[in-house]
Amino acid sequence: KRIIRTNTCDALSESNVVQIVVRPQALAAFRIISTQTCAPFMLAPNMVEATLYPTRNSNYQWFINGVSIGTGNIFPGYYVAAGTDSVAITLKAISLYGCANDSVTYVIRTSTPPQPSFTVSDTSGCVPLQVSFNNTTQHITGIQYFWNFGNGITSVQAQPGSILYQLHPNGGDTAYTVQLMAITACDTVTATKIIRLNGRPRASFIPVRTTGCSPFTVELSNNTHGTNNTYTWTFGDGSTPFITNSLQQVQHTYITGVQTTYPIQLVATNQCGSDTTSYNLVVSPNNIQLNLTVNGNELTGCAPHSVRFINASHNANSFTWNFNDGNTAVTFNNDDTVVHSFLQAGTYNVSVRAVNSCSDTTIARTIVVYGKPSAQFTLSNNNVCIGDTITTATNTQAVSTVWRWSNTTSNLRTPAITFSTSGTHQVQLIAANAYPSGVICADTVVRNVQVVTLRSGNIQVNDSVSNCAPFQLQYANATLAAAGTTQWLLNSNLINANTSGTHTIQNNGSYWLQMIHTTNGGCTYKDSIRIRLQATTGTWTYQSGTICNNTPVRFNAQTNGADSIRWYFGDGNVQTTTQATVFHT
């Protein structure tokens, strides 16, 4: 009610009674679990709880950063994206009575999650490997770090420096996972890198079997440790080495005719080095493939006949040869050529027996050997003068005989031979027989003949020494030579051109008689003889003076050209002697 007093009326005047109701204003209030968290995150309805004032508020409206996201007394939820620094949550309470609305705002601060990163000096290499680590994470207040280098070493230093990686106890290549953990109140984030350490490979392989029969295919399993390896397989049989980068099983086939030990070797190589291992594989022959070949032109021939037996067999350990001429042989090579000479004519069935530990087999080849004639001849003379005739003789039994000398060939049985030049000449006889198979067997014999241009002649004279001049010299050519011309020279002067003659020497002296006989074939015969003509001369002395009766007197002769001395002493006595001194009484 109202009570009114006026200046006019001093008394109080009361109005009728009016009731006034005062309503409360709207009140906004809510609570959140935390006002600081990490983005991104989901702001769920149960994380924001409104305080309800049902006597004041009729409704509630929710805002995020000033943008309405829903109405009602339950928070509708909101996803806070990454990179958001803060979120302002506003609750607006709508008055139940139309009074003034109320609102309240809370700000949720978001923390930036860490983003760890780091670099390494090497991500791969050969052990031992020194690796340097550099932390490149953007710094956040309160951030902490934890390093795990994968090899049992850890660190909480922001910059740990360098770590030395050694060969793993198990050997081979190793991959180490390096972790950098960045820790904040908001989150823990891990960055990783792989460090691959390569050790020198450890070569290892296993053959499925180490013995077998030819042809034997061996399977080899490569168990080598390490990566990026190159594998070189050598099989010990002269084949080309097999090079691969794969660990796949390797197969190789051995074919051998004799038991053979093959060294199989594996060399594993990478950038850090190499390693070698090997096994010995014993391969024995299996079935025999006996192949024996003789060249067609050697199936027949003339004794002595040499034949090449070409052995191209497989899988045999030994070969026993029977040449059917009394000779045998044993060989051990499958790929071989055996040479045998058949000395006598005949048909030879040559057999070869091949043997290994599994089986044996025999093969044969027929060889026909023909006899060849024996070339023989004689010459009437093998030391002649040019133009002289040489007669030949032969008892060679052959279908064909061919003679050759100088530039002459003759098919006569016994030709006559002459030579027109001096020197050593050959006379050749080729004797040959032809057989139905087409084989011609020949034998050759050669004789040497010495041919000269000058020979010694033979002079016959009646005397070569005479004391009497004039002297009639009688001479004749006694040389046994072919017909020709003869010249006679006395002291180089031609005196005759006949085979004989006479010549008178008028004066004493020494003379050379020379004969030159030239045959019609060109051979020259020479001879000479000295002719001496000289009269006897001399003087004598004796012991002079008175000679007593019966005392011998000495007589001494000095002669020239005398054969004997005849003394006439004047008392009827005569003495002939060859002595120069005599005594007479």
425 contacts 377 by C-beta, under 8 angstroms: no
Confidence of residue 9 (pLDDT cuts 50, 70, 90): low
pLDDT at 1 over 70: no
By mean pLDDT, which of 79-93, 232-246, 289-303, 539-553 is the weakest? Answer: 539-553
Are residue 329 and residue 353 in the same domain, yes or no?
yes
Tens digit of each residue's pLDDT (9 = 90 or more) over 360-400: 899 999 999 999 999 999 999 999 999 999 999 999 999 99
Question: Is 297's pLDDT higher than 60?
Answer: yes
- The pLDDT assigned to 88 comes to 93
| Cα–Cα distance for residue pair 514/522, rounded to 1 Å | 19
Same domain, 365 and 317: yes
Please tell me the predicted confidence (pLDDT) of residue 261. 92
Report if residue 440 sits inside a domain: yes
In a domain, 9, yes or no: no
Residues 105, 34 share a domain: yes
Kindly state the tokens that stand for 248.
């796949």
Is 316 contained in some domain?
A: yes
421 and 464 housed in the same domain: no
CA 568 – CA 18 distance, rounded (Å):
243
Answer yes or no: do 463 and 448 share one domain: no
Last residue of one domain, picked from the residues 427, 452, 477: 452
Sheet containing 292-294: give its strands across.
292-294, 305-312, 335-342
Task: Using the predicted structure, report yes or no on whether residue 582 has a pLDDT greater than 80.
Answer: yes
Query: Would you give the DSSP letter of residue 75?
Result: -
pLDDT at site 84: 66
- The domain boundary, picked from 198, 215, 240, lies at 198
Number of domains in the chain: 7
Confidence of residue 433 (pLDDT cuts 50, 70, 90): very high
Quick one: tokens of 67? Answer: 């943008």
Whether 499 contacts 527, CB under 8 Å: no
pLDDT at 502 over 80: yes
The secondary structure of residue 322, as a DSSP letter, is E
The pLDDT value given to residue 135: 95
- 3 state SS for 466-534: ECCCCEEEEEEECCCCCCEEEEEEECCEEEECCCEEEEEECCCEEEEEEEEEEECCCCEEEEEEEEEEC
How high is the pLDDT of residue 536? Answer: 73
pLDDT at 50 over 70: yes
Strands 383-385, 440-452: pairing is parallel
User: Does one domain contain both 86 and 51?
Assistant: yes
Residue corresponding to tokens 């953007």: 138
What gap in Å lies between CA 536 and CA 538, rounded to an integer? 7
Closest by CA to 356, choosing from 326, 334, 340, 377, is: 334
In the chain, the amino acid numbered 21 is: V
User: 411 and 385, same structural domain?
Assistant: yes
- Assess whether 442 and 468 both reside in one domain: no
Q: What is the pLDDT of residue 2?
A: 62
In a domain, 414, yes or no: yes
Q: 154-155 and 144-148 as β-strands: parallel, antiparallel, unpaired?
A: antiparallel
Please report, for the chain, how many H helices and E strands are present, in that order: 0, 57
Tell which residue, 166, 261, 277, 171, has the closest CA to residue 216: 261
Instruction: Judge contact between 135 and 180, C-beta under 8 A.
Output: yes
Residue 469 has pLDDT above 80, yes or no: no
Residues 347 and 363 in one domain: yes
Q: State the pLDDT confidence band at 227, using cuts at 50, 70 and 90.
A: confident
Q: How does pLDDT run across 399-418, given as a tens digit for each residue?
A: 999 999 999 999 999 999 99
Q: pLDDT at position 6, please?
A: 65
Instruction: Give domain status of residue 19, yes or no.
Output: no
Q: Supply the CATH number for residue 529's domain.
A: 2.60.40.10
Domain boundary among 80, 111, 142: 111
- β-sheet bridge partners, residue 513: 490, 529
Answer whether 36's CB lies under 8 Å from 85's CB.
no
What is the predicted pLDDT for the residue at 8? 62
CA 376/CA 381 separation, integer angstroms: 15
Could you tell me the residue range of the domain that residue 483 belongs to?
454-533
pLDDT at 171 over 70: no
Reading the block at residue 307, the tokens are 């034949």
Quick check: is 94 in a domain? Answer: yes
HEC string of 133-176? Answer: EEECCCCCCCCEEEEECCCCCEECCCCCEEEEECCCCCCCCEEE
The whole-model pTM stands at 0.40
Report yes or no: 340 and 410 within 8 Å, Cβ to Cβ. no
- Please tell me whether residues 103 and 34 are part of one structural domain: yes
Please check whether residue 2 lies inside any domain of the structure: no
Reported as a pLDDT band with limits 50, 70 and 90, residue 3 is low
Tokens 């994968």 map to which residue? 150
Q: Are residues 527 and 550 in the same domain?
A: no
pLDDT-above-90 percentage for the chain: 61
* DSSP structural state of residue 249: -
Buried b (16+ CB within 10 A) or exposed e, 368-396: bbbebbebebebeeeebbbbbebebebeb
Q: Does residue 107 share a domain with residue 124?
A: no
Q: Which amino acid, 212?
A: G
pLDDT attached to residue 12: 66
The answer to whether residue 417 sits within a structural domain is yes
- On the question of pLDDT at 36 being above 70, the answer is no
Q: And the tokens for 584?
A: 């007479």
Tell me the percentage of the chain whose pLDDT exceeds 70.
94
Give me the phi and psi of 298, to 5 degrees please: -110, 0
CATH number of the domain within which 36 lies: 2.60.40
Partners of residue 348 on adjacent β-strands: 367
Mean per-residue pLDDT, 323-336: 95
Residue 543 reports pLDDT greater than 80:
no
Residue 317: pLDDT band with limits 50, 70, 90: confident
**Residues in a beta bridge with 459:** 477
pLDDT at position 120 is: 96
Compute the average pLDDT of residues 292-298. 95
Q: Which residue has the tokens 């809510």?
A: 30
Decide which of 106 and 167 is more confident.
106
The pLDDT of residue 172 is 67
Residue type for position 326: G
Q: What is the rounded average pLDDT of the residues 566-577?
A: 89
For all residues of the chain together, what is the average pLDDT? Answer: 89
**Could you tell me if 27 and 53 are in contact, meaning their C-beta atoms sit under 8 angstroms apart?**
yes
3-state DSSP assignment of residue 297: helix
Q: Which candidate, 216, 198, 160, 167, places its Cα nearest to that of 274?
A: 198
Quick: pLDDT tens for 517-537: 999 889 999 999 998 887 677
Mean pLDDT to the nearest integer, 211-231: 87
